DNA sequence: GCTTACATGTAATAGGTTACATGATTCT
DNA sequence: AGAATCATGTAACCTATTACATGTAAGC
């Protein structure tokens, strides 16, 4: 999904400014599977306006960078529908954490364990963030997605918590086969 | 992680050509959280060679595009270690599927359900792919990651399978509040 | 008074993806 | 003989990130 479609999707919930779109995208559920900066949003909104997909009106002309509210047009709505109807392109995950973990054998055991602890803390934060934003009950899809998010984060968290100590043992056994110093 | 680090990591398992690196990256476990094309790999290897991080030797000089084997140098190894020791930057997931699902209320229920079925099939394929590649028992980190992958895919799959029918019901109830045609 | 949040936009850069270009070898 | 796989590389393009540039309003 390109930034234009992203903007259209957010605008389908109601008119908004570029700044507000960015804020919406920063919060769950969007922040869980998308990320975009101002540098992508503003140009996208301009092109969308040129193409007639959104109607832009200056809301606060007195203010210097006037707040520009963008509203979906019929053209924009049908474009969004079309984009959404396409077969979704495969997920793209870039995870430095997972990548590092895969090569954890090259690193000092303590460092690996620290990274896992940090990840556990992050997942806890994300999970409570997800749980905090209750989906609207009138949207079956939002409810479904909410549950999926909870399952995903909860499952990973659970795994990390339950297998951390085993990894710690195995790692220390591998790094000290004979008998180095035991504790630090 | 940029492509250069990716190449160094693959080369830490042993010398390889650019083509072989690409193949390795296409398979689990790498393919689960990374993706890179030839257009990124070959330039990266050239720069790595210029920087002295890898030693490149033409393996089959008779063949026209000679097979070029790249081997990690000490410089390359310490560079890899350094990159791996950094605090991992946050995961970046771009999921058209999740994005579409979030806006599923705008789409015909049947289309949403079809997408979920397709996703279930994809996840089944990925899970069996992950389960097929048994990690080396001597690498605690690889074993840990393998378990994490299984937990992740298994958990998502389980959720989708168990909640699909509920979503179908809710979606049809929402789209036909009174009494449209029942079946198609 | 200072800092944070609001608010928009441009320009430079870096990076990756796609398409192109070429050719050998192996399998069917 | 033809297709698929092996094998490397360049160039164009597209996109996103980053830094820059500017200014207001609200809260501390």
pLDDT at position A177 over 70: no
| Residues A57, A24 share a domain | yes
Q: Tens place of pLDDT for every residue, chain B, 184 residues?
A: 889 999 999 999 999 999 999 999 998 889 888 889 999 999 999 999 999 999 999 988 787 788 999 999 999 999 999 999 998 988 888 889 999 999 999 999 999 999 999 999 999 988 998 898 888 888 999 999 999 999 999 999 999 999 999 999 999 887 766 544 444 4
By Cβ distance, the residue of B35, B84, B100 closest to A92 is: B35
C-alpha neighbours within 13 Å on the C-beta side of residue A77: 10
HSE of A72, CA atoms in CB hemisphere, 13 A: 20
pLDDT of residue B178: 55
Q: Does B59 contact strand C, using a CB cutoff of 7 Å?
A: no
Contact between the CB of B37 and strand D at under 7 Å: no
Q: Which residues of A touch B80 (CB under 8 A)?
A: 103, 106
| Minimal C-alpha gap between B112 and chain A (Å) | 9
Mean pLDDT over the full length of chain A: 90
Q: Is B45 helix (H, G, I), strand (E, B) or coil?
A: helix
- CB pair distance less than 8 Å for B92 and A87: no
**B7 lies in the same domain as B79:** yes
User: Do B165 and B112 share a structural domain?
Assistant: yes
The reply to whether A90 falls in a domain is no
Q: Which of B50, B85, B120 is the last residue of a domain?
A: B85
* Residue B91 within a domain: no
Mean pLDDT value of segment A81-97:
89
* Cα-trace Rg, chain B: 23
Interface A–B counts its CB contacts (< 8 A) at 192
Say what percent of chain A tops pLDDT 70.
95
Identify whether A184 is part of a domain.
Answer: no
B110 CB neighbours in chain A (<8 A) are none
Could you give the CA distance from residue A142 to residue A136 in angstroms, rounded to a whole number? 7
Residues A7 and A59 in one domain: yes
Q: Is the CB of A177 under 7 A from strand C?
A: no
Q: Are B105 and A142 inside 8 Å of each other by CB?
A: yes
**CATH code of residue B77:** 1.10.10.10
Claim to verify: residue B69 and residue B40 sit in the same structural domain: yes
Asked if residue B50 belongs to a domain, the reply is: yes
B97 in contact with nucleic chain C (CB within 7 A): no
Check: CB of residue A30 under 8 Å from CB of residue B100: no
Same structural domain for residues B15 and B34? yes
Q: State whether residue A56 is helix, strand or coil.
A: strand
**Number of domains present in the structure of chain A:** 2
Residues A56 and A106 in one domain: no
β-bridge mates for residue B93, sequence order: A93
For residues B74 and B108, membership in a common domain is answered with no
Which nucleotides in chain D have some atom under 7 angstroms from a protein Cβ? Answer: 6-12, 15-19, 22-25
Q: Which two tokens stand for residue B166?
A: 């509920």
CB A46 under 7 Å to nucleic chain C: yes
What three-state secondary structure class fits A140?
A: helix
Same domain, B81 and B8: yes
Predicted confidence (pLDDT) per residue in A130-158, tens digit: 898 888 888 999 999 999 999 999 999 99
What integer is the mean pLDDT of A37-54?
93
Q: Is residue A143 part of a domain?
A: yes
Regarding whether A150 and A76 lie in a shared domain, the answer is: no
pLDDT value at position A77?
Answer: 94
Chain C bases near protein CB atoms (7 A cut-off): 6-12, 15-19, 22-25
Q: Are residues A45 and A9 part of one domain?
A: yes
**Residue where a domain stops, chosen among B62, B85, B108:** B85
Is the Cβ pair B96, A88 closer than 8 Å?
yes
Within a domain: residue A127? yes
At residue A43, does pLDDT exceed 50? yes
Report whether pLDDT(A162) > 90. Answer: yes
Q: Which of A85, A114, A145 is the last residue of a domain?
A: A85
**Domain hosting residue B58, numbered range:** 3-85
CB-count exposure of residue A147 (10 Å: 0-12, 13-18, 19+)? middle
The reply to whether B182 falls in a domain is no
The reply to whether B48 and B119 lie within a common domain is no
Q: Measure A65 CA to C1 C1' (Å).
A: 24
User: Are residues B102 and A174, on separate chains, in Cβ contact within 8 Å?
Assistant: no
Query: Has residue B57 been placed in a domain?
Result: yes
């Amino acid at each position: 999904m390109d930034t234009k479609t992203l903007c259209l999707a957010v605008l389908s919930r109601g008119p908004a400014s570029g700044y507000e779109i960015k804020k919406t995208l920063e919060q769950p559920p969007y922040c869980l599977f998308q990320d975009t900066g101002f540098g992508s949003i503003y140009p996208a909104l301009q092109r969308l306006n040129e193409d007639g997909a959104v109607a832009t009106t200056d809301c606060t002309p007195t203010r210097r960078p006037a707040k520009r509210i963008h509203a979906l047009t019929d053209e924009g709505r049908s474009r969004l529908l079309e984009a959404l109807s396409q077969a979704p392109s495969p997920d793209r995950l870039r995870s430095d954490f997972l990548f590092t973990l895969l090569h954890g054998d090259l690193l000092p055991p303590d460092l690996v364990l620290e990274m896992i602890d940090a990840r556990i803390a992050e997942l806890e934060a994300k999970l409570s963030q997800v749980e905090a934003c209750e989906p609207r009950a009138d949207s079956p899809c939002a409810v479904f997605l909410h549950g999926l998010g909870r399952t995903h984060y909860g499952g990973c968290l659970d795994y990390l918590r339950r297998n951390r100590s085993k990894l710690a043992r195995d790692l220390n056994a591998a790094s000290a086969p004979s008998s180095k110093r035991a504790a630090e």
